[in-house]
Amino acid sequence: MASNFPLPVPPRTPTPPPDDSPGASSYPSYAVDRDALSPLVDSFPSSLRNPSDSDDRTRLSPTRASFNLSADFAQQNGGGDNGSPGPFNFKTTTMAKSPVVKSNIGQRRGHKYKHSSISHQIFLEPPPRAPLALPNSLPIPTLKECRASMSVDQKRRFWWSVCHMFVAAYTLWSAHGSLAMTALSHLILFDSLGAMLCVAVDVLGNFEVWKRSSIRHPFGLERAEVLAGFAMCVLLLFMGMDLISHNLQHFLESSGHEPHHSHAHERVSPGSVDFTALLAISSTLVSAIGLRNHGRIGKAMRFGYIESLPSVLSNPSHFLTLSCSTLLLILPLVSVRLYNWLDVLLSSTISISMCVIGIRLVKTLGSMLLMSYSGAGVSDVVRDIEADPCVFAVDDARFWQVHYGLCMANLKLRVAGSEENLSRLRERVSSLIRNRLGGGYGSGGQKWEISVQFTIEKA
């Protein structure tokens, strides 16, 4: 029975139709009317088919009121009555009187590269840095703030410096034509200015800006004291030159020339005590011991002849003032003729000494303002460093002084040896500079900050 069933026919795979049928053509199958666009048939507007009419010739003129070409086209297209728009069918639009609100929707003000998804892989955030240890700047105190911060001791010292200036003025007023007393008044004026500067430095030390470093003032305001001292030394130099010119004028007048001004040299009565000279000695001692005026200048400038004297007399300014005042105390004990000669000689000596001290101070403080070191012993220190067996050569050695209390030394050495030897060499260089140039520890000399850079040489 199974053989009676017909065999199943396999399914036929459908064949896709061809892209181009053999009988297909790009032309339409319906008949094309070639005269559809001819002006000779009824389908074309009669006004355009017979342009020879006189009425139709002027109908298309824009100057006539019947100019309405769009109406004919609208009627031809069947849209004249049903409201379909023509090619020139504009409609009147009424503008709103309310202000137009500007919307930022859809507007782009710029691309934020930092927040874009792609730029996260290109523009990375900088790592956070620790704040600087030094502030950018510190407030500089005003005169009112300085006066409010003064202690009782500082006020007392300030009024004493003012009294010292009055002593200088009184000495000049009581000179009575004496050249030596006039020179002494100049010295007392210099001492009183030093006392006032000492008080000003002490008052400014109450504020943080004086000693703390900042980016604007890397060494604080302590260099202002050096600048003020430099100005005082220039004043001392000019006062010495003024006294020299005054002495020359007096010498020319005494040699027979007609004097420009009368110089009646009155003196203290013989055997009496010159009160002005005694007042000058006492005021100088009080300022030297109590205020320590010119103390920093004395440390910056040393004279070998008077360096071994006591602390007050080792300062050249104090030594000159005290010696001049002491000699003026002795002058009333001599005769009149000898007094005149000693007066001129003492005045000339003081004026020349003032010029010498002024030039020396101007040179010392000027080099300090230029950030250089003018002290002695630098060559000996460099020679001792080169003599060390671990040192091949000294490539660079810079010594400079910032202000009265701070000096710096920067050295670059080419060395060879173990780590232990190099550490010993670094300590030896530091102690050598402090002992030779700074006077050693505990001597009250300048503070030295030393940096040493080693370049290791292969043995």
- Confidence (pLDDT) at 264: 45
Banded model confidence at residue 332, pLDDT cuts 50, 70, 90 = confident
Please give the residue that has the higher pLDDT: either 340 or 248: 248
pLDDT per residue as tens digits for the range 196-230:
998 998 899 889 888 888 888 888 888 898 899 89
Q: Is 176 exposed, middle or buried (0-12, 13-18, 19+ CB in 10 A)?
A: middle
pLDDT per residue as tens digits for the range 387-397:
888 888 888 88
Minimum mean pLDDT among 104-113, 233-242, 380-389, 445-454: which range?
Answer: 104-113
Minimum mean pLDDT among 29-38, 260-269, 315-324: which range?
Answer: 260-269
The end-to-end CA distance of the chain, in Å, is 114
299 pLDDT higher than 60: yes
179 pLDDT higher than 60: yes
pLDDT per residue as tens digits for the range 84-102:
555 555 667 666 565 555 5
- Which range of 224-228, 255-259, 261-265, 332-336 scores highest in mean pLDDT? It is 224-228
Q: What is the DSSP string of 306-358?
A: TTTS-TTTTSHHHHHHHHHHHHHHHGGGS-HHHHHHHHHHHHHHHHHHHHHHH
Minimum mean pLDDT among 14-23, 169-178, 423-432: which range?
Answer: 14-23
Which residue in this structure is represented by tokens 């086209």?
73
The neighbour count for residue 295, using CB atoms within 10 Å, is: 17
**Phi-psi bin for 301: left (phi > 0), alpha (psi -120 to 50), beta?**
beta
| Alpha carbons 241 and 235: distance in angstroms, whole number | 10
Q: What is the DSSP string of 227-290?
A: HHHHHHHHHHHHHHHHHHHHHHHHHHHHTTPPPSS------PPTTS--HHHHHHHHHHHHIIII
Give the type of residue at 173: W
pLDDT per residue as tens digits for the range 109-144:
555 555 555 545 566 677 887 776 777 888 888 889
Minimum mean pLDDT among 39-48, 204-213, 373-382: which range?
Answer: 39-48
| Alpha carbons 408 and 433: distance in angstroms, whole number | 10
Mean pLDDT of 412-437: 87
**For domain 378-456, which architecture applies?**
2-Layer Sandwich (3.30)
> Mean of the per-residue pLDDT values for the chain?
75
Residue 172's SS3 state is helix
238 pLDDT higher than 90: yes
- Confidence (pLDDT) at 138: 84
188 pLDDT higher than 70: yes
List of residues 6+ apart from 249 with CB closer than 8 A: 260
Mean pLDDT of 404-421: 87
List of residues 6+ apart from 454 with CB closer than 8 A: 413, 414, 415, 422, 426
Residues of the chain within CATH 3.30.70.1350 domain(s) are 378-456
List of residues 6+ apart from 346 with CB closer than 8 A: 179, 180, 183, 324, 327, 328, 331
